[in-house]
Amino acid sequence: NAGVTQTPKFQVLKTGQSMTLQCAQDMNHNSMYWYRQDPGMGLRLIYYSASEGTTDKGEVPNGYNVSRLNKREFSLRLESAAPSQTSVYFCASSGEGSGGPGRAYEQYFGPGTRLTVT
């Protein structure tokens, strides 16, 4: 049981290049998330997928796209990377459904992808 896995672990891009970050979970979770972590700012939600076939914007979606490929996999794409997207990216998943508004279930995180855009 690997939990949440992410690839790659590290990536360096030049401004304007594109790339896709991959995420997979083996916990049979319905919901999956992409966050970015910047110094002193905690984690900020980029996009999430409440269930297979649905995706929604989070707090900082500009410059990103996502695909929920199946129940296990949720990818994040940078179409034209910018230096402001230099960050550590975390994927997470959470259990079946939720407790309702205000009752989010705990999320389980992958090890992260450290992205530098020059």
Partner 1 sequence: AQSVTQLDSHVSVSEGTPVLLRCNYSSSYSPSLFWYVQHPNKGLQLLLKYTSAATLVKGINGFEAEFKKSETSFHLTKPSAHMSDAAEYFCVVSDRDSSYKLIFGSGTRLLVRP
Residue 64 corresponds to which amino acid?
Y
Cα–Cα distance for residue pair 16/33, rounded to 1 Å: 24
**How many residues of this chain interact with partner 1, rule: CB under 8 A?**
31
- Contact stretch for partner 1 (CB under 8 A) within 13-21, 40-48, 68-76, 79-87: 40-48
- Three-class SS of residue 88? strand
Q: Report which of 59, 86, 93, 61 is spatially closest to residue 76, judged by C-alpha positions.
A: 61
What minimum distance in Å lies between the beta carbon of 11 and partner 1? 15
CA-CA-CA-CA torsion for 54, 60, 65, 66, nearest 10 degrees? Answer: -40
Q: Which of 13, 21, 25, 33 binds partner 1 (CB under 8 A)?
A: 33
42-61: contacts with partner 1 (CB under 8 A): 42-45, 48, 50, 58
Binding site for partner 1 (CB under 8 A): 4, 31, 33, 40-45, 48, 50, 58, 90, 92, 94, 97-112
